Structure formats: C-alpha cells, structure tokens
Structure 1
Amino acid sequence: MGGCGKTQLVSYFLQEYPNLYAQIVYVDASSSSSIKSDFQSWARTLGGGHERDAWEDTLRTLNNVTQEEQWVLVLDNADDPTSDLIPFLPKNIYVTILITSRNRNLGNLSTTSHLEPGEMDADEAMAVILQAARRQLPLSNQEMRDARDLLKELGCLAVALVRAGTYCFQLSSTVGGVLRPYTFSQYLSLFNLHRAGLMKKEGPTSLDSYQRGVYTTLDLSYKALPQESRELLHLISFFHHTDIPLAAFAEAARNAFNDPGYYLPRPDDHQAIISKLGHVLCTNTGWNELRAQGLIHNLRSFSLVTASSMNDQLFLQIHPLIQAWSRDMDSISSQLYQAMAIQVLTACGSEKNFELNRFLLPHV
C-alpha cells in the first residue's frame, strides 16, 4: 500500500546497520528508464576510466562482487506493473536485493523473503504520531481519547500519522519557556471538517524528507489502474470497509440490478444507475466472476483492497483512508457510485438469500 512506510523502513534498516554492506546501490525503480539512468550515473561515479560507462556496466560490477564485500542493491518504488525488473537483477548471491513496491505481485520474485507491511497496531501508531508532533506522554484524558480516535480515522497509516503529527508540531509554539501545543483534539476537529484538504497537503515532514501528501501518494496507484478497476474501487468504497461479499455483486447482477419489488417511484436517472452497474460488473453475457476477479486482482496489485475467503465465499476489505480518498476524489461522481452501491444492496437482498443477508447488514 502506498504510504505505509516501505522506503522509510529500508532507509532505517540501512542506517541501523551501517556496517552490514560494503556498498549501497540505490536506484529509482519507478520505470525502466529511471533504473537505467541511475545505474549509469552510479557507474560513472566510480571514476578511474568509468566516466563513459553505460547502465549495463553497473550490472556487470554487481555480478562481480565477492564474498568478502557483500553489497546491497535497493530498487525503490518499483510500482509500475508493466515494468520488467528481471533484466536489472544481478545473479550474484553476494548482492542483497531490496525492492520496495506497491505492486504485491513482485512478491513472487522471492517467495521466501517477501514482507508485506500492513497497518501499524495502536501502540506503534501512537508512538509515531507522538514523535512526529514532538509530544510526550502523558496526555490529558480528553486528548488521549481524541488521539486514539484520530488513529482510527487515519487507519494507522504511516504517512498519514507523520503528516498529522508534523502539522501539530508546526502549529505549536513556546511562550515564556512553556510549550503551547497544537493538540490532537484540535487536529481531529480540523480533520473532520477538512479531511481532503489535509490529506492532499504536501511538503517535508518532521521525521523524514518525504514530500508527498497522503492522497497524492494514493493518486500514483490510481493513475496506473485500468478504468474498469477504478470504477469498481469507487463502487466498493461506499460499502462498509470490511467484509464486502463478492456474492452480493453476483446476486445483484443475476437479478439484472432490478428492485426485488415495487415500493416507491424511482427517479428518472434510476435506469442509468442500473446501466452503469451492468457496464462495470458484467459482460455482454451477464455476470462473469472471472472478469470480476481480474478487476479485483488489479486493485490488490496496488494494495488498494485486500481479500479473504470464508466458507467458500470471497470478501473484500478496503482501508478506511483509501475509502475516504476514493469518496473525496470527485463529489459529483461519488453521488453516482453511492447510488450504485445502494442499488447493489437492494437488488441482491431477498428473503430467499438468508445466508447472504447475514453478511449485508454492516453495509446497509
């Protein structure tokens, strides 16, 4: 997931163990061209006749590292699912390769050494936001409650926590030697009123030089998604963020997204909502679970959703902050996707689907 601290984790690891590797080769892996450019630049810094080296020379150098040296190659931000990293990986057991990516499929390159960072637990998140805000425990009872509420709103996402703490630090002051902090209670109130504005805010943080805002970080993943997967993301963001049953979409599609009965007159644009659902979730022949799972696979590739199975049913989860970001992206489109989500729940619910109905309650 974007913003969970992958790059920072690698950076802190290398700082914590400065003598572990004789040489660190750090590369921007956001594209093949950036890898080649950084490889070439690194090779030419060696001097002594290397001033005209090409990117391939770095790969040759890495493949010649001996057991006595031990180097590390860091391929950072390898997020593009269309980029092939294989040509840039040295085949040398004395070179450790560290790859950071939002593309979880890259974990297949190393099935034994693949770490997928999740959200922090509450204690870790509290420690991060306190450090970023330059605050120390104990806090007042009210501010402690508000701080915990803020952690829930931010979903314990590293970049959001650091941004929030930095904001509080920047608005704090010292008067007569006494700290007058901008409290977490104040930030929570501001967040509830101006969530999108705060999450888009960019600039260096108080803990590191990371410049991007929370929403900007997520936007990078969004731009790489196919349009159909974007639309599915917007749709599921209007369900509760946990345990979204794929069976609900399948059942609604089998019912052609129609109401199970006539209750109240529908507005003029109701048929357009049904048509849009068919476009997003179906093919010409109707519901196609393989296609739906392909769209979900795209979202999972960037860790925008997760999936789990229970009793032979597939359920989706979406991080609360990703849910908020998706909703905040476009207020007009959000109204459409909200109406679509409501129609899915309407079309799949009936007395005959008792088993499915049990899973729908949190989403109603």
Structure 2
Amino acid sequence: QDALQWLKSKPDEWLLFLDNADDPKIDLNKYFPQCNHGNIIITSRNPGLCVYASSHSAVSDMEESDAFNLLLRSAAQDTTDPNKTIAADSVKVLCYLPLAIIQAGAFISKSGRLDGYLALYATNKSRLLSQKPAQSHDNYAWTVYTTWQISFDQLSQQAKSFLRLCSCLHYQGISEDMFKNAAGYKFGPSSPSKNELQMPLYVLSQFSDPCGNWDPLCFMDVTSEIRAYSLVTFHSGKKLFSIHPLVHDWTRSTVSDGGHHHCMVA
C-alpha cells in the first residue's frame, strides 16, 4: 500500500511492471495505483487481463529464424549452415515454443551434440521436457512440463476432465458445437454402448442444465477457466478452440487417465 500511495503521489511519469501475472484468482486491480497518470505493463498467459489494457499484444510462437538462432545460442553452437539446418528441424519438432527451445539448448550444451538431439527427443520426449537444466540462460524456475502441470493442478475437476476429452481430438478446429451435438446424441441399436462411452458421457453431462438442455454459459465458464492458464486458445473470428501441439501431446501422455481409451472411442 505504501508503494501504491507513493506512485499515486508522483505526478511524473513512472512505469509499473507486473511480470508473469498468471494466476486468474488474483485481482490485479488491487495492485494498481488509483490515479490518472503513470504507465503499467502486464505480462501474463491469462487473456482475461486484457480488460485492464488500453492496448494489448498476444505473443505467439517464435518465427523459425528467431527460434533456431535461440536454440543455437542456448546450445552454445556455432551458426554454421549445417547447424542451422539441424536447428531448424529441431525447433520445428518443438513447435517453436521458446521455453522448450531454451530447455533443449541447455541439454545440447551439456551433451555437446546438436545432431543427436532429434533422435533422443523422438524416444525420450517426456524426460527431456521434464528435466530442469543445471545451467540456464534465464532464472525461470520451471520446465516445460512442470509449467503445464502446475497450471493443470489449478483447474477444477470439470475443467481437467474437459481438457482430457479435448486431448482425444485433433489439436485444432475444436468447436462448441462438437460437444453440444455429442451431448444430444441419440443411441441406436448399432451405436456403441453407453458403458463404452461412460467417461465422455459423464463429462458432457456436466454441460447440461437440469432439464437436459445444453448450457452454453457452463461451457463458457469451463473453457474460460482453461484459457486463463493458456492451456487452450480461442480464435474469436472462427469461434474455434485450439491446443498447442506440445500441450496436446503432454495432456494425452501425462494427465489422461484410465478413461482415455473410451474417450477415443467417442
């Protein structure tokens, strides 16, 4: 409070920087000086914080050239043409995700083998994305998988179940209508039995009101909760959701439970 009061009392231009403001349960408004001067920059994975901004910018995955340069720099490798080719293939597999690239670079720097990383990644993806390098180019404390696990653990059980269900679909082109139509599906003699689809049917039933009708507000609440942790992205123009390919793969391989097979049948 003293700091906020001090900023409020200063008529000069000042900059307040709120970095990694990712927790949607925290009301950031309490940390803003209540005045008409000064500047505030917020970095966050939570798209809901756009309500505070007069302007905002979504940071997407890296461009290929920036990505392979980051990998080579993190891996302490020379920027030769052969290395650029290998690095370009590597960052493509990593889906141009900066944290994954930095983590891969730290591993390559330790092993000294840029050309061997892709083969190792193909068979040891979970281990490589879960390992915290001893030496790092930044002070970020979490690995790729740890970051997602911490976010996943904050979700309600309904949101967790829905994300698991989404992991059985393609990571792009996910629409509300897909789930609405599935929730209203009428089982016939040749249909799979309800026992086979017990898990997805239970998840879908949670989006119905007491009369059995589809509840769009409930669906919006659950998807907004997941979006707040950047585990899914909503494309407003197309009204479609997508999941980053690495998040999608992590969800399928790490947090999907015993209902995964039945989910795939659905």
TM-superposed deviation, 1:146 = 4.7
Q: Which amino acid in the other structure matches residue 100 of structure 1?
A: T
Larger Rg: 1
Q: 1:205 to 1:269 in 2, by over 3 A?
A: farther
1:210 aligns with 2:140: yes
The CA deviation string for residues 79-110 of structure 1, in whole angstroms up to 9 with x for no partner, is 22221122221134553222222221111101
Instruction: Give the corresponding residue for 2:190.
Output: 262
How many residues get paired?
A: 265
Instruction: Give the corresponding residue for 2:40.
Output: 97
TM-superposed deviation, 1:162 = 0.4
Q: 1:163 to 1:83 in 2, by over 3 A?
A: same
Instruction: Give the corresponding residue for 1:128.
Output: 70
Identity %: 28
Q: 1:243 to 1:205 in 2, by over 3 A?
A: farther
SS in 2 for 1:270: coil
Instruction: Give the corresponding residue for 2:95.
Output: 155
Q: Pick from 58, 61, 78: which aligns with 2:3?
A: 58
The CA deviation string for residues 307-343 of structure 1, in whole angstroms up to 9 with x for no partner, is 2356xx6321110111122122246x1x523431431
Q: Distance in 2 between matches of 1:274 and 1:214?
A: 28
Asked if the contact 1:204/1:211 (under 8 Å) is kept, the reply is: no
Q: Distance in 2 between matches of 1:65 and 1:169?
A: 47
Q: 1:122 to 1:201 in 2, by over 3 A?
A: same
Quick check: which one's strand share is greater? Answer: 1
Q: 1:62 to 1:252 in 2, by over 3 A?
A: same
Matches within 5 A, 1:79-228: 79-92=22-35, 94-110=37-53, 112-140=54-82, 146-172=86-112, 182-183=113-114, 185-203=115-133, 205-228=135-158
Q: Which amino acid in the other structure matches residue 316 of structure 1?
A: F
TM-superposed deviation, 1:115 = 2.1
Instruction: Give the corresponding residue for 2:262.
Output: 339
- What TM-score results when the alignment is normalised by the length of structure 1? 0.66
- What TM-score results when the alignment is normalised by the length of structure 2? 0.87
Which ranges of structure 1 fall in alignment gaps of 5 or more residues? 1-55, 173-181, 344-364
TM-superposed deviation, 1:63 = 1.3
Q: Distance in 1 between matches of 2:156 and 2:93?
A: 28
Q: Which amino acid in the other structure matches residue 161 of structure 1?
A: I
Q: Distance in 2 between matches of 1:121 and 1:338?
A: 36
Which moved further from structure 2: 101-110 or 282-291?
282-291
SS in 1 for 2:239: strand
Q: Distance in 1 between matches of 2:230 and 2:264?
A: 21
Q: Distance in 2 between matches of 1:91 and 1:126?
A: 43
TM-superposed deviation, 1:61 = 1.2
TM-superposed deviation, 1:247 = 1.8
Instruction: Give the corresponding residue for 2:232.
Output: 305
Matches within 5 A, 1:256-295: 256=186, 258=187, 262=190, 269-273=195-199, 275-284=201-210, 285-295=212-222
Q: Pairwise CA RMSD of aligned residues?
A: 2.6
